[in-house]
Structure 1
Amino acid sequence: MKSLNIPKGVQRVLFRTLNTDRRLMWQKQFDTSYVGFLRDGAQWLKDNSDIKLVGIDYLSAAAFVDSVATHRVIFESRKLDDVEAGIYSVHCLPLRLLGAEGSPIRCILIK
């Protein structure tokens, strides 16, 4: 992460990884070998950057092999506790899953 030289003040980062080159989003089966963050990478971002939003080119920002620990680092550092009272638009971004009754979503607040 350090070698990416993410400038101070950057709050949003979208990562294009080998997941795109491998066309994982176009596969019918879930692939547990996708590229994602491990706990130590998430911890580094938390401790050394101003990033508040991370996007990645697959279904989870956390690597499958370290999913729970990585999500705990992310969630502990970026709770809604710091959101000031006010009027916001909530946008929920579902995955388009054909034949499914529901979908995982990401929600964002826009003031």
Structure 2
Amino acid sequence: MASSLSPFLRLPITDVTSGLISHQIFGRCSVQEMQLMDCLEAYGLDRGLIKCRCYIDDFKECQMMTKQFARFMAMRKERDRQIHCGILTGEKKYVTPRIDSY
């Protein structure tokens, strides 16, 4: 994580181009990124990696969506199990959820 936050060689060009790689434009992870950067600014990079672990984990989850993918795979595995056991047959195999079920 430290290698992605602080460049190996600091030059004026790295300061100018450092804002190009950010989630502030896209909006999906902008809140988590700002919380992480505020925490890292308060504690510094070395101490911040320990103190800001919860913000780092939240930001990584927003980027990678590992929990959402694990939930999707668990639902798919359960549907395949029900199809294999014969619980879901015919037209009920691949029914999409109702619109208001979320």
TM-score of the superposition, structure 1-length normalised?
A: 0.23
| Greater radius of gyration (CA) | 2
Query: Which structure carries more relative contact order (alpha carbon 8 Å, separation 6+)?
Result: 1
**Structure with greater helix percent:** 2
**Structure with greater strand percent:** 1
